[in-house]
Structure 1
Amino acid sequence: MLTSYLATVLLIELTPGPNMAYLAALTLGAGRKAGLAALAGVALGLALIGVAAAAGLAALVAASPMIWNALRWAGGLYMLYLAWETWRGEAETSPAQTRAFDDSTLRYFSRGLITNILNPKAALFYVAIVPRFLPKQGATLADGLVMTGISVFVATAVHLAIVMLAAQMHPLLSQPGRMERTRHGLAIGLAGIAIWFLLATDLPTT
């Protein structure tokens, strides 16, 4: 059962989505430190959603079209906002701002956190997938928390691999004369993911 759950989580995490797209785009444009800070935020967001799901809150989200759509639109619009900032070249990527390591790190961390919390598909995962791997009878809060820990670990490992791979490409893409083209390309990619997110995350019907 545990092996099947690990395989399921891995396959789901390898499917492109908002977190993966944002981490890749951010790291390609701003470097490894920015990507790792956002990765920490994404991991915390996933853990919070898992704990909420274990407590029954995620089921309320999945059962309410109004809450689901509010999260879906908030998440999609937030990613469009990040795409716009990437396109125009945010001041925080300038040398003057990157010296303020603590401020920029917190900013990237919070954006990773928000991007994940506003992703209703994360809540759906805990509602639709995790219960299939829990004991048929007598499932406890501890069981749900163990499943949450496993999913956060696998997701973080996958996201870390993406960040490190993108970090290897960052020096090449950030060379003078390439930065603007890189930034615009990443912005278009983020906007595309945001639009896909809005169109492809309607609340499933039964």
Structure 2
Amino acid sequence: MTLSFLLTTLIVVASPGTGVLYTLAVALTQGGRASIAAAFGCTLGILPQMLAAMLGLAAVLHTSALAFAVLKWCGVVYLLFMAWQALRETGVLAIDARPAPGRSSRRVIVTAVLINILNPKLSIFFLAFLPQFIAVDEAYPLARMLELSGVFMAMTFAVFALYGLFAAGVRDRVITRPRVMAWLRRSFAAGFAALGAKLAFAER
């Protein structure tokens, strides 16, 4: 495992994006347990994208305008729906003073997985990113790609969990201040809307 891969992965994972924004929002509205569920869901959502890259499905998205557009606009609609939920304080982003572990955690995970699956740029990113760290003379390139993917997913979970636990740590001070929560709700809604707009203008 090269140092350059680990450093590049850390930069990519830690950079603010849809997964980070979602994990922070869940941590502030539902607490630490839910933030771990969000981190797990975001990590799990990477798996189909990586498999798509390995199986060549990402190449289909890259070459097929229709397939890319359908998945892209599904992702845009879903992100705008998330923005609406954040603004209206509904769904998985509703503030829960006593979060119930079972059902709400499943909803958080499913939402996180959908956020990643409906982003066609993610699978194309992995198609372009992972092969850079596989030597031309690699005896088992698929096994190496699986290894790199596993490390990427582990780092994703660790970093997102740290983000979530930090946000959950300040949650009690935040939810008791209505004005602060109103500002955060608008900020999260604007963030999801901005990411939706960015995805809408994304090209293959």
> Does the residue aligned with 2:41 lie in a helix, a strand or coil?
helix
1:187 aligns with 2:192: no
Give the match for residue 2 of structure 1: 2
How many residues were matched structurally? 201
The Cα offsets for residues 87-106 of structure 1, whole Å up to 9 and x where unpaired, read as 1121663659944x311111
Q: Is contact 1:76–1:197 with CA below 8 Å preserved after alignment?
A: yes
CA 1:91 to 1:120, structure 2 compared with 1: closer, same or farther past 3 Å? closer
Amino acid at match of 1:188: A
Match of 2:173 in 1: 172
- Does the 8 Å contact 1:29/1:182 carry over to 2? no
Give the Å deviation of 1:56: 2.4
- Give TM-score, length-normalised by structure 1: 0.85
Match in the other structure for 2:118: 118
Identity of aligned residues (%): 29
Alignment gaps of 5+ in structure 1: none
SS at match of 2:171: helix
Q: Aligned pair 1:161/2:173, yes or no? A: no
In the TM superposition, what whole-angstrom CA distance separates every residue of 1:109-128 from its partner, at most 9, and x where no partner exists? 10001001112222122211
Name the stretch that deviates more: 85-94 or 26-35. Answer: 85-94
Q: 1:37 offset after TM fit, Å?
A: 1.2
TM-score, structure 2 as length reference:
0.86
State the alpha-carbon separation in 1 of the partners of residues 28 and 185 from structure 2.
Answer: 9
- Cα distance 1:74–1:97, how it changes in 2: closer, same or farther (>3 A)? farther
Q: Output the amino acid matched with 2:184.
A: T
- Where structure 2 has 5 or more consecutive residues not aligned to the other structure, the ranges are none
Distance 1:184 1:48, change over 3 A: same
